[in-house]
Amino acid sequence: MRGKAHMLALMLLIASIFTGCGSGDSHKKSLTPVRVQSIVAQDVNSPVSFTATVNPYTQLNLDFKVFGYIREILQVEGADGRIRDIQEGDFVSKDLVLARVDEADYIARMIEAKAQVDEARASLEKGTEDYNRAKFLYSTQSIIAPTYEKARKEYQVAKAQVEGALGKLAQAEINLSYCSLSPPMSGVILKRNIEVGSLVRPETVGFVLADVSSVKVLFGVPDIMLRDVQLGQELGVTTQSFADAIFVGRVTEIAPAANTRSRVFNVEITIPNSEDLLKPGMIASLDLTRGESDLPVILVPLGSIVRSKTDSSGYAVYVIEERAGKTMTRIKNVLLGSIYGNMVAVYEGLALGEKVIVTGATRVLDGEEVTIIP
């Protein structure tokens, strides 16, 4: 009796599963939420904001030219009054010795080179006397030619040995001077890569030094605005650190060609920085006003742009359409123009009034039903 009850329960469970699978209450796939924006033509004559980066006027690496262990690093008084090794942010003067490699081996080599010079000079002195005597005797036919030639060759060898020894001495003196690392200009230390006891070799970078008495502010402009920037033009930049201050400089360089990736032209502004307020790596901003332009253009957010499905090198956007009471997507190829901040101009492919997906464009497919969120 109990076995029949179990069998009946199993049959009822199977029936309920099949009934549920065939019912009209099955779960539907949730719709992808998207945000849209209606297409309008915008006037781009108003100032366009750009983000820029602050860079040193000059930056260089101070590298070593010899092998050895760091014997000492220049010490200065810190903010707490204690003596410490120089570090990032310290200002150093031109030709100041910042670090020294242990000179013991190089001093020994220089002493050895000096000894070789003395020995070679002594040999040359004797060789000169022998050669002068042989030359006199040969002129009076008191010695034969081979004896004269031997004296002459010994003199030439001794002379060459002196020149070689002097060359080794000069190189030893140069290597000894390389044990001291000094900057060729005054500036601020951006990075220190060594400690006392560090082993260095030629081309090891000990310090990164920057001249920040003036700074270079770099930003990129699209080709459509390139005519609005001129060499020598005065421009002002601001930073978040000094929100109420405007730092004025002049355009000192305009790239002759666009960046191959961003397709913008790099522009450099040089700004005096005598008060040391602008630091390398700061983010700055500036406004650039366009001159006379053509008709207003269609601008869409950069986030709405996707790759074209039919053109591997082209771009597209998704628009939405109402079909049979459903909100559906449709992909449209577009021809892009210049970038304005976080917006990009669309020259072909869109019409006024169309609604473009600006959030969620990378998560939808062509012809997919979606739901619009505020």
pLDDT tens for residues 210-259? 999 999 999 988 877 788 899 999 999 999 889 889 999 999 999 999 88
Higher pLDDT, 346 or 46: 346
Structurally, at CATH architecture level, domain 32-45+295-372 sits in Beta Barrel (2.40)
Provide the pLDDT for residue 288.
83
Q: Are 209 and 59 in contact (CB under 8 A)?
A: yes
User: What fold, for 48-55+213-288?
Assistant: Elongation Factor Tu (Ef-tu); domain 3 (2.40.30)
The Cα–Cα gap between 318 and 326 comes to: 16
Q: Which CATH class is domain 104-177?
A: mainly alpha
- SS3 call for 81: coil
For the CA atoms of 316, 256, 274, 242, the dihedral, rounded to the nearest 10 degrees, stands at -10
- 283-322 burial, b for 16+ CB within 10 Å, e for fewer? ebebebebeeeeeebbbbbeebbbebeeeeeebbbbbbee
Q: Are 68 and 43 in contact (CB under 8 A)?
A: no
Confidence of residue 364 (pLDDT cuts 50, 70, 90): very high
The Cα–Cα gap between 253 and 236 comes to: 16
Domain boundaries, the chain: 32-45+295-372, 48-55+213-288, 60-98+182-208, 104-177
pLDDT in tens, 285-294: 998 876 655 5
Q: What secondary structure does DSSP assign to 299-359, as a single string? A: EEEGGG-EE-SS-TT-EEEEEEEEETTEEEEEEEEEEEEEEETTEEEEEES--TT-EEEEE
pLDDT in tens, 135-175: 999 899 899 999 999 999 999 999 999 999 999 999 999 99
Q: Which CATH class is domain 60-98+182-208?
A: mainly beta
- SS3 call for 95: coil
| 43 Cβ neighbours under 8 A, 6+ residues apart | 296
Provide the pLDDT for residue 231.
95
Give the residue from 321, 300, 303, 290 showing the smallest Cα distance to 46: 290
Provide the pLDDT for residue 44.
64
